């Protein structure tokens, strides 16, 4: 008998109904947050036209920009669009084989005994630049390069032994 009374109180108590409504509203609101990060139609149309084979697409917002992260052709991308659909900034994480020949030759010439671990292609209003992560037995090297092959050391770090 006590169990039935407890169920009646738990199910029909007015304060619990308010809590239940607030909980359901919070769940619905939180589930809709990802919809707010979706870009407008112009940005989405331009993205789909430019990257028709993109996979694992995820949209977020960063201030006044729509940011998309995705994978295409074994490269990972992160691109910032403004609300008009203009590509403002992009990062492409790729390997040695995706480097332009001029950049690859310049890096290999200047850093002969180092191995290329990874490449980040940076595109913005100033143009395209590359950050190349190199390593040898003792150090990590971060090297920057322009498209024309102007290479410079950004920093180096000792590896832990």
Stretch (H or E) spanning 49: helix 41-50
What is the per-residue pLDDT across 33-44, written as a single tens digit (0 to 9) for each?
A: 444 567 888 899
Q: What is the pTM of this model?
A: 0.73
The span from the CA of 10 to the CA of 91, in Å, is 54
Q: Which residues contact 102 (CB under 8 A, 6 or more apart)?
A: 147, 148, 149
The span from the CA of 135 to the CA of 149, in Å, is 19
| pLDDT higher than threshold 80 for residue 18 | no
Average pLDDT over residues 8-31: 48
| 3-class secondary structure per residue, 70-115 | EEECCEEEEEEECCCCCEEEEEEEECHHHCCHHHHHHHHHHCCCCE
pLDDT score at 25? 46
pLDDT score at 20? 53
What is the per-residue pLDDT across 71-123, written as a single tens digit (0 to 9) for each?
A: 999 899 999 999 888 999 999 999 999 999 999 999 999 999 999 999 999 99
What percentage of residues in the chain have a pLDDT greater than 90? 67
* Domains of the chain, earliest start first: 16-86 (3.10.450.360), 95-160 (3.10.450.360)
> Which residues lie across from 133 on neighbouring strands?
118, 142
């Amino acid at each position: 008998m006590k169990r039935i009374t407890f169920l009646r109180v738990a199910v029909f108590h007015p304060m619990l109904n308010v809590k239940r409504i607030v909980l359901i509203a919070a769940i619905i609101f939180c589930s809709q947050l990802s919809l707010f990060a979706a870009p407008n139609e112009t940005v989405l149309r331009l993205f789909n036209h430019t990257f028709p084979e993109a996979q694992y697409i995820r949209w977020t917002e960063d201030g006044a920009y729509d940011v998309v992260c995705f994978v295409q052709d074994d490269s990972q991308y992160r691109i910032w669009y403004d609300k008009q659909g203009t590509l403002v900034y992009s990062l492409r994480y790729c390997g040695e084989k995706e480097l332009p020949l001029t950049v690859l030759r310049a890096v290999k010439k200047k850093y002969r005994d180092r191995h290329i671990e990874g490449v980040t292609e940076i595109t913005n209003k100033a143009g395209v630049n590359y950050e190349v992560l190199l390593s040898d037995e003792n150090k990590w090297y971060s090297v920057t390069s322009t498209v024309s092959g102007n290479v410079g050391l950004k920093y180096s770090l000792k590896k832990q032994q």
